[in-house]
Chain A
Amino acid sequence: MKQGGNRQTEKLLMERSVPGRVGTVLPDLDVPAQAMPDSALLRDELPLPEVSEPEVVQYFTGLSLLNFSIDTHFYPLGSCTMKYNPKVNDEIAFLPGFAGIHPMQPVEQSQGALDLLHRLQGFLGEITGLPAVSLATLAGAHGELGGMLMIRAHHLANGDTGRTKVAIPDSAHGTNPASAAMAGFNVVELASDKNGNVDLEGLRQVAGPDLAGVMITLPSTLGLFDTNIVEVCRIVHEAGGLVYGDGANMNALLGRVKLGDLGFDVAHLNLHKTFSTPHGGGGPGAGPVCATQQLAPYLAAPTVTKQGGAFALSTPEKSIGKLSSFHGNFGVLVRAYTYIRTLGDAGIQSISANAVLNANYMMNALRGTYHLPYDRTCMHEAVFSADLQKERGSSGLEIAKRLLDYGFHAPTMYFPLIVHEALMIEPTESETKETIDAFIQALIDIDREVTENTELVNSAPHSTPVARLDEARAARQPDLRWKPEAAA
């Protein structure tokens, strides 16, 4: 049977509703009933489902079974660092002393939480070599916005109002240009050279008095360490700009090099990638911002400071302001702290060592079967092109979908944009050699299938709860919620 039965999940909540069923019993009112407000203020209908508790549990459990996940499948989704998410981190984040504390309770009643946040700021500052840290941003892109607003504030504080441009490599994540635009900058694209590094000549051309800064992902989304990085930082600094680091790929660099040493001025980390906090099907994440001491006054509020023996929430002197309702995604921060504390210095370095080893081992085993547009030592991930397979009739998309039939989640497809038919594969440090070997064999088998049975590959997946979906129809006739008339 295909995973996840239809019977259990086919009907939506509103379709399951039976008048009179309840999913929760609440206590009776224990104070005298009070006068109700004007009935014009009250709603008539409350169109929510009426289902019993067992139905709710069975329905959502059934839905969960339709997913691939790290706990159930190898998930080598490039640039996402789908590593094992330790269970003890969840257990600790759920302790009443962490999950059950109110964000506005007096700091005297939250000293343990603040101590933890203060220590985490220290760890992240040490790992990046950028010692000024704010934990208030809630995802990678949110950190990018915070970091770019800091760069803007820095230039404005220097009376430097003409720095309107931000240069971003053509291999960057889409969030980079989107965040720079939200921070009010015009985006200029930087070409990559034939080795996958930032093209220095192109950079020199844009490095003028209107350059606010550059946004660099290191290693790049090609999975490569930019060997020109020190020169990139020097050129930008000489032009008066600042260097932003997108830390999405930090798993490769943990304990191996510090961004601050290389010349980065400000960077974000993705705790839901590098630091193992569960991705939850699309969040929560956390995107702390780490910066040089020079930029510390601009950090997003609040930061945690230690005054005497006590911890406090503070607003940096020239802060860009608040970027979230409270103090950041605390539950995620607790998990990341627990992870770093558990692994310690040796474990942190073991992450990058094994992530990079696994990626290179896999890349080497597939070299010759799949085209490698940048054939260099890779870092934590390798980017292949399915050009060779496309000539025989199957695209990168089709190979990715076929992998699902082998019980592996697909790699990231068609990204970065500068590689045709890109397949970006990130095995992470937490998978066994046996799993990686089985994955390599699957990709070799699929390559053979492309020749011998193209249709089998091109009609994949065959074993998932649904076959290939009609995305064009979804966009042309958007059906974005259940409506009663649609049920008839």
Chain B
Amino acid sequence: MTSTRPNITGANGDHFQSHYIPNTTSEQAEMLASLGLDSIDQLFTDIPAEFRDPALDLPAPLSELDIQRELGDLAAKNRPLSSGPSFLGAGSYNHFIPAIIKPLITRGEFLTAYTPYQAEASQGTLQVIYEFQTLICNLYGMEVANAGMYDGATSLAEAALMACRVTKREKVVLADTVSPTYAAVIRTYCQSQDIAVETVSPSAPNLDAKTACLVLQYPNFFGYIEDLQSLADAAHAQGALAVISCDPTAMGMFQTPGHYGADIVTGDGQPLGIPASYGGPYVGLFATKQEYIRQMPSRLSGRTVDKNGKTGYVLTLQTREQHIRRERATSNICTNEALYALASTIYLAAMGKQGLRQVAELCYHKAHYAAEKIGRLPGYSLPMSGPFFQEFVVQCPSSPTEINKKLIERNIMGGLDVSDQVPNGMLLCVTEMNSREDIDALITALSEFK
């Protein structure tokens, strides 16, 4: 660590020339001369002298070779999903990612473009967003989708706030089967706006005429599918909106939330071709009914024509947004996750009608195969019943965290410990990435842990 400010203007010969910054000392001198100055420091004199040029305690610069070594070493201290079977889900899912996605999303033309405010110079991004909006609507059976939100939790929180605007009510009711982290984020978003957040059991949702929305998860946090039709009907009977957070992969086989009358559908796009990446960046999905479009947060790409009548795309209905409406905007959201909306769009194109159905069915059959076998192991049981997709809860004979430690010794990543909600409960996730061999290894290992 250095504690004195290194010389960067080259006056005493220890100039550091970064490979990311083209200006040489002689070019700097030439530019300064055009300004009638002889030192870059003279450009910073508006900063009060007593605070200017503080000591900066950062390490010295590194070469690219050194940085690759240092970060390669750090990366090697983590256990990647590819190093052995994993049965962790709970909001981040291990699905197959087609090889085409990475080279396409890392094309500089997509990767290093800004938000498409300058439409004529951003038709690629704008058309991608329009495609994304189309495919998300098709996936969820909804009328309109936006260009993306941050992630699954924040999308759902924004949906709850939107429901309050639409209904002009100030109470959000959450099913207790919604992800605990999603519920926590909803509480953070609602805390300052005098919006009450209540939790109910989906078997007896206690709604009233003050309820803005009933928030559900499909499949729920534990992997199971609730009676969405009756729950949506119960919300509507009180004039409340049905807000459903929905796993997009399940849409490869299961009925759409739109079919059940959902008013706002959100989700996390991570299962659609986005790596787990320790929790981000992902992309939030957000769809609603046409009638609520003016209350919707975030960007929208619309198809229009140019002055010669040629089809083109622009950001539209921007009067909802912060850069126009400021404190009266539908949300403060600005930069979101456009690159991962692109990744999801490529994924849905590559998977297509047949592929997404196959992925969903592979997950379904493998998860049911695993559940059936584990449920029959001595000491293990399936405490929940009903239809499920790719996740399910197993009641273990002892602490799931302790069992997970033993599983890791066999290079198996077990499920999430949910014993705070289900005694000795482990939330397991089985996807197309788990071969029968992996699943059988898990079953064998569990059978040996009591």
Contacts and interface: CB of A to CB of B under 8 A. Distances in A.
A38 B227 CA distance: 12
A474 B168 CA distance: 28
Nearest to A363: B35
Interface in B115-171: 115-116, 118-125, 127-128, 130-131, 133-135, 137-139, 141, 144-145, 147-148, 150-154
Interface stretch (A250-258, A289-297, A386-394): A250-258
A29 B305 contact: no
B44 A101 contact: no
A59 B314 CA distance: 19
B217 to A, nearest CB: 13
Given A140-B335, A325-B185, A431 B22 contact: yes
Contact of B278 (A41, A72, A149, A330): A330
A464 to B, nearest CB: 4
Nearest to B279: A326
Contacts of B35: 360-361, 364
Nearest to A472: B304
B285 interface: no
Contacts of B317: 475, 478
Given A255-B56, A256-B44, A346 B16 contact: yes
Nearest to A6: B310
A109 B56 contact: no
Contacts of B282: 325
A192 interface: no
Contacts of B342: 60, 280-281
B447 interface: no
A206 interface: no
Nearest to A35: B368
Contact of A284 (B88, B268, B337): B337
Contacts of B374: none
Contact of B144 (A70, A227, A322, A480): A480
Given A282-B147, A361-B34, A341 B70 contact: yes
Most chain A CB inside 10 Å of its own CB: which residue of B32, B48, B98: B48
A467 B8 contact: no
Given A95-B75, A465-B120, A474-B314, A82 B114 contact: yes
A321 B354 contact: no
Interface string A446-466: 000000000000010100111
Nearest to A75: B114
Interface residues of B, number: 202
A255 B18 CA distance: 15
A30 B435 contact: yes
B450 interface: no
A358 B23 contact: yes
Given A64-B124, A282-B116, A325-B268, A12 B134 contact: yes
B20 A282 contact: no
A47 B138 contact: yes
Interface string A148-174: 010010000000000000000000011
Given A178-B322, A357-B23, A358-B23, A278 B339 contact: yes
A56 to B, nearest CB: 5
A142 B324 CA distance: 18
B185 A322 contact: yes
Contacts of B134: 12-14, 481-482
B105 to A, nearest CB: 8
B326 A123 contact: no
Interface string B59-83: 1111010011011111111111111
A73 B114 CA distance: 12
A280 B110 contact: yes
Interface residues of A, number: 201
A139 B336 contact: yes
Contacts of A86: 20
A377 interface: yes
B113 A144 contact: no
Contacts of B336: 139, 282-285
B12 interface: no
A194 interface: no
B13 interface: no
Contact of B329 (A10, A178, A272): A178
Given A53-B100, A330-B278, A64 B107 contact: yes
Contact of A34 (B2, B116, B301, B372): B372
Interface string B396-433: 00000000100010000100100000000000000010
A325 B274 CA distance: 15
A68 B351 contact: no
A102 B324 CA distance: 38
B361 A324 contact: no
Most chain A CB inside 10 Å of its own CB: which residue of B125, B184, B253, B313: B125
Contact of B79 (A101, A276, A330): A101
A141 B335 contact: yes
Interface in B188-219: 188-189, 191-194
A346 B182 contact: no
Contacts of B32: 357
B223 interface: no
A474 B276 CA distance: 36
A349 B326 contact: no
A441 interface: no
Contacts of A90: 106, 111
B188 A149 contact: yes
B220 interface: no
Contact of A281 (B31, B310, B326, B339): B339
Interface in A52-82: 53, 56-57, 59-61, 63-73, 75, 77, 80, 82
A488 interface: no
A63 B334 CA distance: 23
A1 interface: no
B79 to A, nearest CB: 4
Contact of B48 (A29, A230, A354, A360): A230
A433 interface: yes
A13 to B, nearest CB: 5
Contact of A432 (B22, B48, B112, B353): B22
B121 A30 contact: no
B74 to A, nearest CB: 4
Contacts of B293: 478, 480
A338 B275 contact: no
Given A42-B254, A67-B125, A429-B21, A26 B280 contact: no
Interface string A348-363: 1111011011101100
A213 interface: no
A281 B118 CA distance: 11
B125 A282 contact: yes
B289 interface: no
Interface in A189-227: 224-225, 227
Given A9-B127, A64-B104, A467 B333 contact: no
Interface string B309-323: 011111011110111
15 contacts: A22-B354, A37-B225, A46-B356, A48-B348, A57-B104, A82-B112, A101-B78, A101-B278, A184-B192, A345-B57, A346-B60, A361-B31, A361-B35, A475-B318, A478-B317
Considering the complex of A and B, which 10 residue pairs feature the smallest CB-CB distances, nearest first?
A326-B279, A97-B75, A71-B108, A280-B339, A112-B77, A103-B279, A282-B338, A184-B192, A344-B61, A284-B281
